[in-house]
Amino acid sequence: MRAGGHRARVIYGSPAEPAAHSAAVSSAAVYSAAVRLREIGSSHGMRHLAATLADGREAFVKQAVGGSRAGELAAEANGLRWLAEGGPVPVPAVLSVDEDTLVIEMLPPGAPTAAAARELGAGLARLHAAGAPAFGAPWPGYIAGLPLPNDSGTAWPGWYAEHRILPYARMARDRGGLSAADVSLVETVADRVAELAGPPEPPARLHGDLWSGNILWCTVGKTATAWLIDPAAHGGHRETDLALLALFGAPFRAEIAAAYQSVTPLAEGWRERVPLHQLHPLLVHACLYGAAYAPRVREAARAALDGGS
């Protein structure tokens, strides 16, 4: 989610696999091996630090503030490992993960290019095509520090309404971000998702929070590449990732979309369905940042309904 500050980059760490990976060691061990630490930002109750390890490697440290965030860190780790298994879009490597700290490799900075954007678009299409067993995920999810229901489902419209639209509309109302009338409008969309969603799609392997800040553009030598970071990964509708790219804008977005279409074209009318897929992240923002996002929630809800008329 859009919240400013540097974003974490991590992989591995499954609730079903406490050791996470045979090559991973405890975060405390890696963290204590740092010969230099520098705080570089924060986001959603996490400190972000740049570290130089004793062996000379540069690392990025994400550390929970005020107690364990084991579930949240495990969800992020599980998501990146799952995306890595999908293959075509790179994710950073983990050095360690535990209940309150992630330590990962520091990637070289770079700038977006049209060629890297085309590579990302084609890779994203192939990542989605890697698929998922169901809508949802086998681990409890999080997005921007908020719990993200990942109960599995076999039909996207009902799953999206139950696990992505309604919980956040009601949370935003309870936190003062939306009015009762706003929630009623959003509930109308939830009631009509099946007719608004377009042709049925199988579960795609999604990043799940693919706004532009979660694409890290890196340059090695003269080659620029787009890496994915900070996922809320799950099996979902592939139009969701593309709609998120449009939410706050992304460099070379037209090139990303064109390359995606060249690999696995989206169903007719996908552009009209963008507001439907943007409704969930906008509701998350209303939960986090309050009534400032209410107008955008209303706009997306009305556009979603208009797109299905």
Residues forming the active site: 209
- Name the residue among 279, 296, 309 with its Cα closest to residue 196: 309
C-alpha–C-alpha distance, residues 145 and 147, integer Å: 7
In the three-class reduction of DSSP (H, G, I as helix; E, B as strand; rest coil), residue 190 is classed as helix
**Number of helices followed by number of strands (H, E) in the chain:** 11, 11
What is each CA distance from 238 to 63, 210, 304, in whole angstroms?
31, 11, 17
- Name the residue among 214, 85, 192 with its Cα closest to residue 144: 214
Q: How far is CA 228 from the centre of its chain?
A: 9
